[in-house]
A and B are shown apart, each in its own frame.
Chain A
């Protein structure tokens, strides 16, 4: 091979006067990611959830707000002064009972999301990262779990083990694992194709470090978005279970339990069922709306094109 020094010939791109990197594009206005005001619906949804959450946390702690104490002078009282949301057949205040019932719903939802996110997320990352047999085994297990009728299995387990919120939360969480798994697996698969992950591999970054630095941070928006969906699944499932009597036993207040208690008097005292049912519906609606806003909005869609 010839060792003649190769001069940069003319007529090619390199002969263009070097604009030198020192020409700094004067501090661009930080690529203003237009912080538009959130739409009214989002504010309303977030506001509602805040109210429900705070009520659930604080109200049962206040003196005189016992959800179990019956006001025998006012059984099945219609909403009005004294009992804003009315009372049930035993004279128990429906506001206090619904607030206490929210605790059960939120506890189950939190546990569901925790289990789904941690277990499903970890399995999905493993399936997407390792591929091959790991992927196939995890995928088959997920298919298997998806084929099980959720509520029936939960009811069977609760009948055997006795009711308890941790058990119910973990069980419902287990059933959201396949969905969390699929979502995180898909994110990992598309992320490993991205240039910056390839670059990290080229540098010789260890797999754990690549996952921690390059992949998991990019999965978070998608996972968080689905966490909202999982929350609604958990709240609805807990409602159904408690309605059927497979959640906390009476007199402990749960949304489904209160709805069930009121169903015999739907004609004469409809508010007994309607108060917790309405709160449940609005809460699920709010979670869904927020989740939908997150999905369509900022973080996921904005992450620039996959090259």
Chain B
């Protein structure tokens, strides 16, 4: 299957007062239609930086992003704007992503109004009602509300309806449910899951919550200090992680009936600063398996199964 979106060798470097900050280093991803890739990592690992780089908001420091084969960096600003509807994102904070002064109808219709090229059949308002119905918000009840009159889950579904109005090929959800309570999470997750299936979207789901990742994604990529440390089908990776960091993340997921603290596999609680990353493997300062080799050289990404890759000198086997 040819990927809808292919990001190759993406690096994002922020210039800060205390020197360059390598938010993302040499990350490659490919998204296919009807599949969802989850990007997992703790806060500060560069998840959102990857999302922004993929959307070219702004473009990555280096690396290329191809949407249906088109290199986004080769486009003029106007051409890129024209392509933007093909890649849509749902943000973490549902309320702040909606202009409080506008009505739900106008918010959802913004992609149609901003690109007046092809008016939807049946008219703008009919399309808005259709989209609101698709996300489970009846238009007659919600179209004339303002964002302040919505709950978090409702606001997030309005944001999804807006994304769908653009008729995207790629849908990125950046921590799209982490600000919602659990029942609203379930609604939004099922919605996202269903939409990638029915509309044939390629999904990129960014999260720190492995439970949520398990529910929505086909594949998972684990991010640590801006580098991918493990990739593979979600079920396989979560069942038998090979990178010690993935294993530690899994061990940190609370489960009923299991004591938490006893099984913490991290040596240090906090990740190192991305401003002064450790030499060699970024994870070695917290890794129970770290050796001198880990400090000396950056582990290369190795294919350990047809669809699994890991970047570690001491991968776990048969966990």
Contact surface of A with B, Cβ cutoff 8 Å: 1-2, 4, 6, 8-9, 11-22, 24-25, 28, 30-31, 194-196, 198-206, 209, 213-214, 217-218, 303-307
Contacts and interface: CB of A to CB of B under 8 A. Distances in A.
Contacts of B230: none
Given A18-B190, A203-B85, A203-B166, A195 B114 contact: no
A128 to B, nearest CB: 17
Contact of B215 (A4, A9, A198, A201): A9
Counting chain B residues whose Cβ lies within 8 A of the other chain, the interface size class is 35 or more
B57 A213 contact: no
Interface string B112-156: 001100000000000000000001111001000000110101100
A213 B106 CA distance: 11
Given A16-B182, A16-B186, A203-B162, A196 B193 contact: no
A201 B182 contact: no
19 contacts: A1-B35, A8-B190, A12-B211, A13-B182, A13-B185, A13-B186, A13-B211, A13-B215, A14-B189, A16-B186, A19-B186, A20-B136, A25-B151, A195-B93, A195-B98, A201-B84, A204-B166, A214-B99, A304-B96
B81 interface: yes
Given A31-B149, A202-B88, 5 more contacts: A21-B136, A203-B88, A213-B102, A303-B100, A304-B95
Contacts, number: 144
Contacts of A11: 211, 255
A198 B91 contact: yes
Contacts of A13: 177, 182, 185-186, 189, 209, 211-212, 215
B164 to A, nearest CB: 12
Contacts of B214: 9, 12
B177 to A, nearest CB: 8
Contact of B114 (A24, A28, A194, A203): A203
Nearest to B89: A202
B101 A14 contact: no
A2 B216 CA distance: 15
Contacts of A30: 149
Nearest to A199: B97
B159 interface: yes
B91 A199 contact: yes
A90 B207 CA distance: 82
A21 B186 CA distance: 11
Given A204-B82, A204-B84, A196 B98 contact: yes
Between A4, A18, A203, the greatest number of chain B beta carbons within 10 A of the residue's beta carbon is seen for: A203
